[in-house]
Structure 1
Amino acid sequence: MKTLLSAWPFWALLSAAFAALTAIFAKVGVENINSDFATFIRTVVILAVLAAILTLGGEWQPFGSVSGKTYMFLILSGLATGASWLCYFRALKIGQAAQVAPIDKLSVVLVALFGVVFLGERLSGLGWLGIALIAGGAVLIALEA
């Protein structure tokens, strides 16, 4: 039987909780600073924390052990993450957290669509209904705020 620490729902819920805190902390943090500089500070913190985690866990890998394909997709992922963060912080600077965060979470809908189109994943009718409800809910929350 899986332990709590090896179950994906545990980590997914923690991710959601930390993402929610990110929106609240970032909204306050970006108040009196350029949004791009705020993103830079956030990125430096993330780099330092990850370096500490890798060091303490002895999980560093030789850079040569990573394939070119893996590097390419991780670099693309990093560029997409950076673009997302820059846009997210700029949106938080301008709008309310209660508006920005739900629209940002439309990424859930886009991941499902991209998964179907680019990765050949399949969704059931119930899955598509869930995606539609997430999309509708995000829009309704953003419009309400």
Structure 2
Amino acid sequence: MSSEEGVSTFEVEFEIKCSAEKFFDIYADHVTMLPQVLPHMFRSTTVVKGDGKSVGSVVDWEYITEPPSFETARQTIEAIDEEKMVLTKRFYGGDLGKKFDLYRATLTAFKKDGKNYVKWCLDIKKTHGEIPEPHDYMDFIEKFTKEFDSSLATGNVSA
């Protein structure tokens, strides 16, 4: 974790069972299917501007964190590089916006030594010092990655 001008960065990397390309493509292009695939984690993902998969697209999220707590946020796609399999989304507003002035999640999917990986980089800036470190959100990212990967690897999800 590094800190500059109040922004903290958290990184986590997971080996995945499905191909890096499949994980990236399905996550990048089909965000609206998440409530069907992982209904215990996502209540809804609604595209409110754009197509939901290109820069500038806006999506409203309703999700469930641990301990079971319902939260909302709005997300804008800031950058996407399909060739390098990098996707950056900024989340704001709703419950998340009350905790963070900045909440940017960057997904990078890649292959290394014949294996597939997903790396998440979370840049956050808390609204004030009383906000705890985002361990619950990192746990959510880990749970999401493993369960989404498992669904993709078993063929339960396809584009």
Decide: shared fold, TM above 0.5. no
- Which structure: greater strand fraction? 2
Determine which structure has more spread, i.e. the larger CA radius of gyration: 1
What TM-score do you get using the length of structure 2 for normalisation? 0.26
What TM-score do you get using the length of structure 1 for normalisation? 0.28
- Which structure: greater helix fraction? 1
